[in-house]
Structures are given as C-alpha cells and as structure tokens.
Amino acid sequence: MTNGVNKQECRSAEGRQRQGSRCRAVLFLALTLLSGSSLGDDDERLRAVEETLRKVTEELNALKAAGVTGSESAQALDEARRANEKADALEQRMNQQGLQARFSEGIRLEDPKGDWSLRIGGRVQLDYRNFSPGDAVADTFSLRRVRAGVDAVLYKDFRIVVEAEFANGNATGTTTQNVALTNGFFDIGTFGPGARLRLGQFKPAFGYEQTILDLYSDYMERSFAQSLLQNLNYDRGFMVYGTPARGMWYGLTVANGTGLNLEEKQGNGQEVDASKPELALRLTANAAQLLETQDKILQLGASYRRGELANSAANPYTGASVQTEARGITFFTPAAFNATGETAANIKREFLGYEYLFSLGGWKLQGEHVDVAYRGFRQSPSPSVNFTRRLKADYVSLMWLVTGESFADYFNDSTIGKIRPRNRFAKGSDGGWGALELGLRYSWFDGSDFSHSNPARTGQLSVTAPTSTSTAKASATTFQIKWIPNAYTRFWFNLVNTHFDTPVVVNAVSTSSERAYLLRGQIDF
C-alpha cells in the first residue's frame, strides 16, 4: 500500500479505468465551475475552484506514486495543468477589471473581488397640506425630507453610513441650518447575525414606528406616540442588535439621551450630574417565523427606555409637546420643570412601549402603546414637592394591499421594508399599474396628568405660540390611499380628522377639531 493506493489494482486495466474515471469526474466539476465563471464573480468561487484543483492534483500525484503511468493519467495531468492556467488567467482578469458600477437600491460601486462596496442614495419628499379651519393653520407646500448619503461595506462585516438632511425650513418664514447630520455610524458584524455592534449617531430601537425608516412608513406621518419621544428619533452612543434565533430580534442601545445632533450639557455641576448614559431596549418575536408559517406575520414586541435629563435653572427640561398627526396645530405643551431662581432636581424619564403586528397576505393589523413618566423633585419655592407626570399615546391601524402583494414577503429583522409591486407601472402592453394600498388608523393621546392646577414646575399645562389655549387630550382618524408605481416611487393621499377634548385657540381662532388633506410625492434611489 503506497499513499493509500493499491499498486496491484492500479496496474490492472480495471484499476486504471476506475482511478481514471474518478479523476475525470473531479476535473469535470472543476472545469464546469471555471467555464461558468464571469468577470463579476467574487473570490469565493475562485477559492472553491482552487480547492477542487488542489484535490485533483493530490490524487494524480498519488496515482503517479503508485505507478500509474498510462495515457489516462498523463491526460488528467495535462487537463489539470490547463485548468490551473485558466484559473490564473481568470484571477488576473478580475484584478484588471477594476471598479464595477450598477443600480440597485442606489448607485453601487463594487470591487469585483467583493472586498468592498459603496452605495450612494437619497430621497425627496414633497408634501402639500390643506387645513380646516384655514384661518388657524396655513396651507403649505413642504419639503418634508431631502436627504443624501453614502453606505459603504468593507470585507462584508464592516459598514459605514453617513447621511445628511437638506430640508430644514420652518414655519416662521426664516431658514435654519442648511445641512444637518441624521445618520453617522459604523457597524461591526464579525460576531454574526446574533450580535452586531453599531456606534455613532443613529435611530435607537424603540417601538415599531420609531425603528422603521420613513421611506417605508405606512402613513405620511407617524402617530401621536412618536411625539412622546421628542427629539430622540436619533441619538449618539452604541447599540448591540441582531437575530439570536429564528423569528427573534433585539436592540440594546446605550446613548446620551439628548437627541439629534446634541451632546450632554456641561454648564454647571447639576448638568454634569445628569450626563449618565440612557438605556433603551426593544425585543420582538414573530411566531410565524418560529413556526415556519408562510405568508404570515405574528409579531409581538416590547420596548423600554430610561435616563436622567439635565434640569438646571439655566437650562430647564420640558416634557414632550404634541402636534396633530397632520403637522398642524401644536395643541399640547407642558411648562418647564425648572426656572431661574428656583431649585429642582434633574428629571428621571422612563418610557414603556408595547407593539403588535399581525399580517395575512395583503392584510395587516398593527398597533402600539407608549407611556412616558417624568419623575422629579422641586425644592423651591416652598413647599418642596415630589412628583410623577405621565403622557400616554396609542394607535391601531388596518392596511390592505389591494393589488395582491403580501406584507410577509418584505418582512425582515422585525420590520416591513420596501413594498415592490408585482407589476410595476409602465407604458405599453408589458407594463402594469403598480401597487395600491389602503389604510385606516385611529390614534389617541392623553396628557391629563399635566394641568393648570398642578404646583408650579411639577408638570403644568402651558402654551406655545401661535397656540394660546391648549388641551390635554386628543384623538385622530386617518384614511389613506397610497399608490406605489415602482419600488422607488410613492404617492400618498391622507385625510386626517383630529378632535380635541376641549377647544384650543390658535391665531385667535377657537376650534374643537382640525381637518387636513395631505398629498405627498416621494422618490428615492
């Protein structure tokens, strides 16, 4: 026995035939892989071919050592040599090919060997808003979002995202900062899908509406619940997230708790004392994935967030103000928890959220509850007061994809992504009409813990111009029609009826309701 090959068998005609057949089979596999390669293949296929050729060479050397010198072995050696030369030529062509460009969810530039890729993307959303009563809120065209950014991936496990917002006008007739950072983070995925690490400025995971991108949101605007997060839609810190098991998703964030493009206040000792990191956690479980059920989503989730906010006399903290879902009247504004000449402790803020998402085919039922508690201590003016004030908001939404697409087809990592029409809108007999989606949402807000009768600086109801009389409760009904011509374009019509618990006064107009007709055109790449 030499190198595991029986010499007597190899010298026999039968043995040579059997060994030669094995060699030809392995060589055929290798050459088939090579002939199917293209300049766009990555080095994974090349490595697979090289491994196959290595095994072939080892077997041929074993045959040679065993004394097999017939024509079949010589031919096999010659074929292996040619295959190696072809593999070398393929690798050389790949190295010479250089940069590759294509369009797929943005303009993509890629290294042909797969070491890196760069995506350049952006989006524009133009809104028109018509309000009633018209003398309380102005009708307007609004550039809701104008964003551009880059998304780079290095060696598959390292990702860098930088995105800026260019639509920063306001309702005062003046302009604000021209460009503002939204996303600026990098991801590390070397630990696998169960534990990815994100560092920088990003959207902390809290609830479904907050986690999902605005590109994929169901309605033109998020519900009352989103207002309770104030400017915490983005924050600075780090997040560990991933899918530890099929159907499970989590996101654990440690961040400043100060919000978009803000660092901790450090003007005095009280502000420094409040600079502890804020913790946020979101957990979801989709039973449909756990049970491997097709065409369904059966997801439940919970979120929690807590932190301490600076509340010095120089920079007092104020709870969340709430605007109608049509971005019309700001009907609820709490007074600040501190003021010049007074003494109050920092505010401990705690969020709790529940969510559900059930889908069957083109039907989807979704809802959330968010509760935020503000806890503090007012030492002066006397008497001293410990207090807790709460805000609550809920919504329930029913969606229907009329044209037959299934929500489950676009579900990934706890959220539903971009809906792609079965038949995109195009001219001619080959074109379709895109996708059509109908939606109905009912939401409500309760801020009755804040009232004029509360002691000063412990959660009183206040106003923000041009509103001169606020209310602490409201409900809203939104009807929506959404047309999706293709994966990159959307058109919305929303009708939003808002009812206030008590009349509000805006620009000297008293009203118990607001009706808004909203239109949006959106394109992204």
Alpha carbon distance 83, 11 (integer Å): 27
Cα–Cα separations (whole angstroms), residue 237 to 165, 199, 240: 20, 6, 11
How wide is the angle at C-alpha 139 spanned by C-alphas 141 and 490, nearest 5°? 40
Residue 461: pLDDT over 80:
yes
Helix 43-65 crosses helix 13-35 at what angle (to 10 degrees)?
Answer: 160
Q: What is the rounded CA–CA span in Å between residue 281 and residue 198?
A: 14
Domains and CATH numbers, the chain: 7-97 (no CATH), 119-173+183-524 (2.40.160.10)
Q: Would you place residue 94 in the very low, low, confident or very high pLDDT band (cuts 50, 70, 90)?
A: low
Measured in Å, how far apart are the chain's first and last C-alpha atoms? 65
Whole-angstrom Cα distance, residue 521 to residue 492? 7
Q: What is the SS3 assignment for 420?
A: coil
Residue 152 pLDDT exceeds 80 = yes
Q: pLDDT tens digits, residue range 40-53?
A: 444 455 566 566 66
**pLDDT greater than 60 at residue 105:** yes
In this prediction, residue 113 has a pLDDT band, given cuts at 50, 70 and 90, of confident
Report percent pLDDT > 70 for the chain: 81
User: What local confidence, expressed as pLDDT, does residue 17 receive?
Assistant: 47
The pLDDT assigned to 176 comes to: 55
* Type of residue numbered 142: S
The span from the CA of 430 to the CA of 349, in Å, is 56
What is the secondary structure of 331-378 as a DSSP string? EEEEPPS--TT-EEPPEEEEEEEEEEEEEETTEEEEEEEEEEEEEEEE
Tokens linked to 453: 């009768």
Tell me the β-bridge partners of 374. Answer: 349, 389
Residue 482 backbone dihedrals phi, psi, to 5 degrees: -130, 125
- pLDDT (tens digit per residue) in 232-252: 899 999 999 999 999 999 999
In three-state secondary structure terms, 157 is: coil
Task: Report the b/e string of 163-189 with b at 16+ CB within 10 A.
Answer: bbbebeeeeeeeeeeeeeebbbbbbeb
Beta bridge partners of 203: none
Candidates 440, 443, 437, 408; CA nearest to 421 is 437
Alpha helix stretches (DSSP H) within 221-323: 224-227, 269-273, 287-290
Q: Any idea which residue has 């590390």 for tokens?
A: 188
Backbone angles phi, psi at 474, to 5 degrees: -160, 160
User: Is pLDDT above 90 for 356?
Assistant: yes
Q: What is the mean pLDDT of the chain?
A: 86
Instruction: Count Cβ atoms within 10 A of the Cβ of residue 399 and give its class: 0-12 exposed, 13-18 middle, 19 or more buried.
Output: buried
The rounded distance, in Å, linking the Cα atoms of 339 and 330 is 23
| pLDDT computed for residue 82 by the predictor | 77
- Measure the CA angle with vertex 503, ends 499 and 504; round to 5°: 100
Statement: residue 411 has pLDDT above 80: yes
Q: For residue 248, report the phi and psi dihedrals to the nearest 5 degrees.
A: -105, 145
- Residues in CB range of 511: below 8 A, 6 or more apart: 133, 136, 329, 500, 503, 504, 505
